[in-house]
Amino acid sequence: MQTTILLIGAGGQLGTELTQGLRKIYGSDHVIASDIRDAQGALKEGRYEKMDVMQRDKLFEFIKKNQVTQIYHLAALLSATGEKDPRWAWKLNMESLLFVLEAAHELKLHKVYWPSSIAAFGPTTPKQNTPQYTIMDPTTVYGITKLAGELWCEYYFRRYGVDVRSLRYPGIIGWKTPPGGGTTDYAVDIYFKAIKEKKYECFLSADTYLPMMYMDDAVKATLDLMEAPAEKVKIRSSYNVGAMSFCPAQVASTIKRHIPDFQISYKPDFRQAIADSWPKSIDDTPARQDWGWKHQFGLEEMTADMLKNLSA
């Protein structure tokens, strides 16, 4: 049977680029992007379906009609937006995952991808080189849905043999699509503002270290995991993946080397407490050992690439 991939939440920061990556591998005819909004930008260049993942029956019908074999389920409220409406964040993030897992089991999908996050960790998690297996006590509703979701994924794998795979993403930085409501968004905003206004007011303090990853690496990690033979995917909750760790002051001084009159100021808001509860750096040994994860971009390379693309 041929592969047909459905991306849910394809209009978001990661979805847009994963859609493009998957279309390159499988061809546009085999990749269907979907989102609750109308198609934007590059998503218009292939198959697209405006769809609300919360409508279970329609989702199931669509999967059957289009003979979907894989789902990448990326729709979610992120950490900062989730705090504005915790009950809705719980409902959207959790129910949509369960619909997708049920579909995978009942309609016999070949594979499912679902992202977890460093937000699944919490204040008593060891902060430096956070291990794969450790204390997990998330404080945001987003983090709670990620931790619960990881356990549901593992449950569906063990109980029903659903081939579900997941990564605990750090903050993801890219230039094509802005992120939507996360705590790590400053690391994207800062580049946009550096180009446009040569100044940026940061909502986290200067020395707030967080694990981060350039978009190219995030797409690569996802596709590497999804293309790996099933027996190599030993962890079915979610894999730690790391690339770099930095704080706002370090991004600012790296940008200054390209834009000497760039100015940064700091005005921490409610997102500071969220960032303070998360790891500062990640130990991703199992991902490197099990399926060969390797990152390419550090802060210097990423900054050069971001500024080049945004200036163009």
Structure tokens of 18?
């994963």
CB-CB contact of 56 with 33 (8 Å): no
For the sheet containing 70-73, what is the strand order?
Answer: 47-50, 31-35, 5-8, 70-73, 111-113, 164-165
CB-CB contact of 240 with 213 (8 Å): no
Pick from 11, 182, 211, 248: which binds ligand SER (CB under 6 A)? 182
What distance in Å separates the CA atoms of residue 188 and residue 138, rounded to the nearest whole number? Answer: 24
Structure tokens of 41?
């930008």
Q: How many CB atoms lie within 10 A of CB 7?
A: 28
Residues 137-176 within binding reach of ligand SER (CB under 6 A): 142, 169, 171
Pick from 5, 10, 119, 264: which binds ligand SER (CB under 6 A)? 119
Q: Is 243 in the site for ligand SER (CB under 6 A)?
A: no
- Residue 213 gets the label, from left (phi > 0), alpha (psi -120 to 50) or beta, of beta
Q: Binding marks (x or -) toward ligand SER, 64..83, rule CB under 6 A? A: --------------xx----
Cα(first)–Cα(last) distance of the chain, in Å? 42
Least distance (Å) from ligand SER to the CB of residue 143? 8
Least distance (Å) from ligand SER to the CB of residue 160? 27
List residues with catalytic annotation: 142
Binding segment (CB under 6 A) for ligand SER, from list 55-63, 181-189, 236-244, 280-288: 181-189
Pick from 183, 208, 254, 303: which binds ligand SER (CB under 6 A)? 183
Pick 140 or 254: Cβ nearer ligand SER = 140
What is each CA distance from 248 to 17, 66, 191, 252, 311, in whole angstroms? 25, 45, 11, 6, 21
Binding segment (CB under 6 A) for ligand SER, from list 147-155, 178-186, 214-222, 301-309: 178-186
Q: Binding marks (x or -) toward ligand SER, 78..107, rule CB under 6 A? A: xx----------------------------
Give contact residues for ligand SER (rule: CB under 6 A).
78-79, 117, 119, 142, 169, 171, 182-184
